[in-house]
Amino acid sequence: MAVLWLLHLLVLSPLSLCTNPGITVRLTQKGLEYGRQIGIAVLQQKLKSVHIPDISGKESVSPVGSVEYSLSGMQVVSLGLPQSSLVLAPGSGLSLSIGNAYISIDGNWRVKYLKFIKDHGSFDLSVSELTISAVMAVGSDETGRPTVSCTSCSASVGSAKIKFHGGASWLYNLFSSFIDKALRNALQDKLCPLVTDAIAGINPHLKTLNVLAKVDQYAEIEYSMVSSPVITKDYIDLNLKGEFYNIGKHQEPPFPAPGFSLPAQANSMLYFGVSQFTPNSAGFVYSTTGVLSINVTDDMIPKSSPLRLNTKTFGAFIPEIAKRYSGLQIELLVKSTKQPFVTFQTNNMTLQAVGSITAYAIQPNSTLTPLFILSVDASVSGNVYVSGVKVAGSLSLNSFKLSLVTSYVGPFQVQSLSNIFQLVLKVAVLPKVNELLQQGFPLPTIEKMNLVNTQLQIQKDYLLIGTDVQFSP
- DSSP-based three-state secondary structure for 429: helix
Q: What angle do CA 285, 289, 291 make, to 5 degrees?
A: 105
pLDDT in tens, 283-340: 999 998 888 999 999 999 999 999 999 999 999 999 999 999 999 999 999 999 999 9
Q: Tell me the average pLDDT across 343-366.
A: 96
What is each CA distance from 311 to 320, 367, 431, in whole angstroms?
A: 10, 15, 24
Read off the pLDDT band of 52 (50, 70, 90).
Answer: confident
Q: Tell me the average pLDDT across 60-85.
A: 86
Q: By C-alpha distance, which of 3, 1, 6, 10 is closest to 145?
A: 10
Residue 115, pLDDT score: 78
Read off the pLDDT band of 170 (50, 70, 90).
Answer: low
Residue 412, pLDDT score: 94
Task: Give the count of beta carbons closer than 10 Å to the beta carbon of residue 370.
Answer: 14
| Whole-angstrom distance, CA of residue 35 vs CA of residue 341 | 38
pLDDT in tens, 253-266: 989 998 899 998 88
Q: By C-alpha distance, which of 308, 271, 279 is closest to 423?
A: 308
- Mean pLDDT value across the chain: 87
Q: What angle do CA 461, 13, 278 make, to 5 degrees?
A: 20
Name the burial class of residue 334, with classes exposed (0-12), middle (13-18) and buried (19+) by CB atoms within 10 angstroms of its CB: buried
DSSP string covering 160-220, please?
A: EEEEEESS-HHHHHHHHHHHHHHHHHHHHHHHHHHHHHHHHTTHHHHTTS-SEEE-SSSEE
List beta partners, residue 86: 96
Q: By C-alpha distance, which of 289, 335, 282, 327 is closest to 308?
A: 327
User: CA 11, 14, 19, 21: dihedral to nearest 10 degrees?
Assistant: -30
pLDDT in tens, 24-37: 989 898 988 888 88
| Whole-angstrom distance, CA of residue 231 vs CA of residue 274 | 19
Q: What angle do CA 368, 371, 372 make, to 5 degrees?
A: 125
Q: Which residues, 6 or more positions from 257, have their beta carbon under 8 angstroms from its beta carbon?
A: 18, 19, 20, 21, 22, 242, 243, 275, 277
Q: By C-alpha distance, which of 192, 163, 198 is closest to 179?
A: 163
